[in-house]
Amino acid sequence: MDIFKLLKTLTETAGPSGYEQNIAAVVAELWEPYTDEMTTDRVGSLIAIKRGSGPEPRPRLLLAAHMDEIALMVKQVVTHNGNGFLRLTNVGGIDIRHLYGQLVTVHGKRDLSGIIGSLPGKMLPPERKDKPFGWGDLCVDVGLPAAKVEKLVSIGDFISFRQPLRKLQGKRVTGKALDNRASVAAVTVCLDYLNGRSHEWDVVAVATSQEETRLLGAYTSAYAQRPDAAIAIDVGFGKGPGASDANTFELGGGPVLDLGPNVHPGMLKTLQDTAKTLEMKVHIGTHTRGSGTDAYGLQVAREGIPTGLISIPLRYMHTMVESIDMADVERSGRLMGELIANLDGGFLDKLAEGMMKEE
C-alpha cells in the first residue's frame, strides 16, 4: 500500500468538524473493497463492518479514528470600498498565531479560494505594532466585490485550510489534517492487512465525526454499534525543539500505547503482547484525566466498553504543517490487524476476570 498516496488523498480533502461529508465519501471509497457493509449515521460518522468467521452472534471490535479536522467559520461579512471580506472564528482548537497568511477554501454556495490577511505592521497604530494578531485583525479575502461575496457566502459557512501534503526526508511528511487522517490511514492499513488473514470477530471500522469539538461520533457510534471492545487511534505529541520530554515521542519510533483512566488495562496488555509477537517497538504514554480522544466517548457508552488507545507521534499539532513518519502509520495499522486476527471466543472472559496480568 502506498502510504504517501493514501495520506495525500485523505489530508487534501476538506472535512471541517461538523462538515465531514466530503472526507466521508473519500474514506468510503477507500474502505469499500475491504468491508461487507457500510453506512453513514445521523451525525455523519462513516461505519464500515468487516464480518468475521466465528459463529454468530460474533463479538465485535470497534476501531475509531476521527476524520474531522480543525477549521474556521464565517462570523461576519464586511465591505470596504466595494470589496467583500470575511471575519472568522475557530472550529476546534485553533492557535491564532498560525493563521496569518494561510491559504483557505470558503465552503459557500460554491467553494471559493481565499487567503487570511491583515494590515502589515507599518499600517497598524503604534499600540498594535509588534503585537500578536487578534480575531478582529484577521480577515479572509476571496478577491471578489462585496455584492458577489454577499451572494455566495453566509454567516456560518465553513472555511478549511488549503495545504498540500509534502515529503520531507526519509519517510516523514508534513501537511494539514494529519490529525487525524494519519489514523484513518492506519485503519485502512489494518483492513488491508486483514484482507489476507482469517479473524473470528467482526470489525466495526468507524471514521468518527466532530471529535475536534465534542467527541460526538465516538459517543454515538459506540452506543449504536454495541461493540464488545474498542480501540481509539489518534495522534500524540512528537519530540522536537522546546518540547517536554514527558509524553512526547520520536517520529518513526513506533506507535504509542496509552495508559490512563480512558484505557482498560487488559486492552493495553493485549496491544503490548501483540507488539511483542510482531517484534515491534512501542512506547507507553499516560493521561491522568481525560485523554482528549475518542477513547473517552467509546469507554462510557452503554454498560461501558473495554477500550485501548493507540497514538501516532506528530509534531506541530493543530497547525497547517503537522508532521509524522509514515512508518508509524503502517506499524499502527499492522498492530491492530494482528491483534484482531488473534482474538478468540475466550478473550472477553479474560478481560472480565482480570486475567490479563504479567506472567
Spot the catalytic one: 20, 69, 211, 338.
Answer: 211
Cell of 194: 486483514
How many whole angstroms separate alpha carbon 335 and alpha carbon 337? 5
How many whole angstroms separate alpha carbon 88 and alpha carbon 28? 31
Residue 238: DSSP 8-state: B
How many whole angstroms separate alpha carbon 134 and alpha carbon 128? 10
> Cα 281 vs. chain centroid, distance in angstroms?
23
* Long-range contacts (CB closer than 8 Å, 24 or more residues apart) made by 19-26: 19/71, 19/107, 19/158, 20/44, 20/67, 20/68, 20/207, 20/209, 20/210, 23/67, 23/68, 23/69, 23/181, 23/207, 24/67, 24/207, 24/209
Whether residue 211 lies in the annotated active site: yes
Task: Write phi, then psi, for 337 (nearest 5 degrees).
Answer: -60, -45
Residues 165/12, Cβ–Cβ less than 8 Å: yes
Single-letter residue type at 255? P
Catalytic residues: 211
